[in-house]
Amino acid sequence: MGQTAMIINDIIKYLILFDFVTVSSWGFISPIFAVFVTQQIINGSLKVVGFSSAIYMVSFSLVRLISAYTVDRKLNDKQRLMFSALGSILIGITSLFYLFAQFPLHVYLLQALNGAGFGLRYSPFMNLFTRYIDKGLESFEWGLNAVSVSLGQAATVALEGLLAENYGFKLVLFILVGVFTLIGSLIPFIIYKNISQIKRP
């Protein structure tokens, strides 16, 4: 009985992997974002860091609320997967655009796009995770997702300083984050292909 109860369905496994790849990738950038802005952006300062962070949060909050309503009321499961993939693609493209950022305005625009991408990604992700979570394993599977993301971020944080110091912000970190995030965007398409074969718990 206990052994059966610990079986995690495939959709949840793929969703955990999706969250792990996308959020862990941004662990490369988040801890040193302030250093990047102040050292690599013309007229960059801590004020720019503060404003850009605020812009990200406003964009994320607005898009997440709007997308949450749309996801709950308007979309089926396959459309939710594509919505989440779209958000992840936007996040990956935003990272690559940082290669060309030179001025504070560029940072503000990219932070707005990044916030929108995460807002688009999270609403359908949480909807699907809640809908397909295994009965009796709710806390375990949400916890497994949180732990996998945290460990992934720990690993990327351990590497980001070394990579940034030896190879530079733009040439390595933003390319790595963009590429990994875009690769992670393929995972919803894998779920999309198999979702009709898996019964919701």
Condensed to tens digits (0 to 9), the pLDDT of residues 76-135 reads 998 999 999 999 999 999 999 998 999 999 999 999 999 999 999 999 999 999 999 998
What span, in angstroms and rounded, lies between the C-alpha atoms of 184 and 89?
Answer: 9
Average pLDDT over residues 59-71: 94
Cβ–Cβ < 8 Å for 116, 90: yes
The pLDDT score that the predictor gives to residue 163 is 75
Give the model's confidence band at 5: pLDDT under 50 very low, under 70 low, under 90 confident, else very high. Answer: low
| pLDDT score, position 176 | 84
Q: Which CATH class is domain 12-195?
A: mainly alpha
Mean pLDDT for the stretch of residues 53-73:
94
* Torsion angle defined by CA atoms of residues 168, 22, 54 and 162, in that order, rounded to the nearest 10 degrees: -20
Asked whether the beta carbons of 195 and 81 are under 8 A apart, the reply is: yes
Q: Is the pLDDT of residue 138 over 70?
A: yes
pLDDT at 192: 85
Task: Report whether 113 contacts 94 (CB < 8 A).
Answer: yes
